[in-house]
Amino acid sequence: MGLADAYLLPQSQANVGKKHQLDIGSGTGYYLRRGGLPAATQLTLVGLERPALEIGLHRSGRAGDARGIVADILQPFLVEDDTKFDSISVYYLLHCISANVKAKFVHGANVLGKGVRRDNLFAKHIRRMVLRDGIFHNEDDNAYDFEHALRQNFEEVETAAVGSVFMFRAARPKY
C-alpha cells in the first residue's frame, strides 16, 4: 500500500467539505476522484493555468458541476458569489511555489470562540453582533485544536493567543 492509499486518501476523505470544497492546485484530480467527494458537495478548483485546471476538473469526475478558477494563489483572487468553504485542500501544492523551502510557510490569524477572556470590547462585539448575524462560525474554535492540527502537519509551528485572536506560522510540511 502506497503513501496515497495509506495516508493521503484517508486524510482527504476525513476532511473534505460536506457543503463547499475548495481545492487549490488540484493537479490531476486524483484525490478528488479517489477521495469519494460527496455528490452534494459543491466543488471549486483553483489552478494557475487553464490546461491543468481542465485536467483536474475532468479527472475529478465533477467536470459538469464543478467550478474552475484560474488564479495565482500568491495574489488576491475573488470567488464570484462569496461562497464560504467548509474545507480547503492544498495537496502537493507548496512544492510548486518558486521559493526556497525556508520561505514556504503558511501564516495567519483566527478569532477564537473558546478559551478567551470575554470582558473586552472586541469580545462583546463578537458575541453581540457577528455571531448573532451569522457572519462568524467560531463558537467552538480554540487555540489548542488549531495548534494541534498545525503540529500534525508541519515540522515548525509558532503560535500565540492575544486576547481573542489566535496567530500562527507553520513551515516545513511533514508530507
**104-145, pLDDT tens digit by residue?**
567 667 777 777 666 566 666 666 666 666 666 667 788 888
Query: Which has the minimum average pLDDT: 47-51, 61-65, 148-152, 156-160?
Result: 61-65
Domains of the chain: total: 2
CATH number of the structural domain spanning residue 64:
3.40.50.150
pLDDT digits (tens, 9 = 90+) for 20-47: 888 888 777 777 888 777 888 899 999 8
Residues 94 and 122 in one domain: no
Q: Are residues 71 and 137 in the same domain?
A: no
Same domain, 19 and 83: yes
Examine the domain organization and report whether 30 and 81 are in the same domain. Answer: yes
Regarding whether 74 and 114 lie in a shared domain, the answer is no
Domain that holds residue 32: 3-98
Domain boundary pick from 44, 75, 98: 98
The answer on 75 and 10 residing in a single domain is yes
Residue keyed to cell 463547499:
20
Question: What whole-number distance in Å separates Cα of residue 166 and Cα of residue 146?
Answer: 8
74 and 122 co-located in one domain: no
Question: Given 98, 131, 151, which residue is the final one in a domain?
Answer: 98
Q: Which of 98, 126, 161 is the last residue of a domain?
A: 98
Backbone region of residue 115 per phi and psi (left: phi > 0; alpha: psi in -120 to 50; beta: other values): left
Give the CB-side neighbour count of residue 130, counting CA atoms within 13 A. 15
Q: Are residues 51 and 91 in the same domain?
A: yes
Are residue 93 and residue 121 in the same domain, yes or no? Answer: no
Residues 120 and 92 in one domain: no
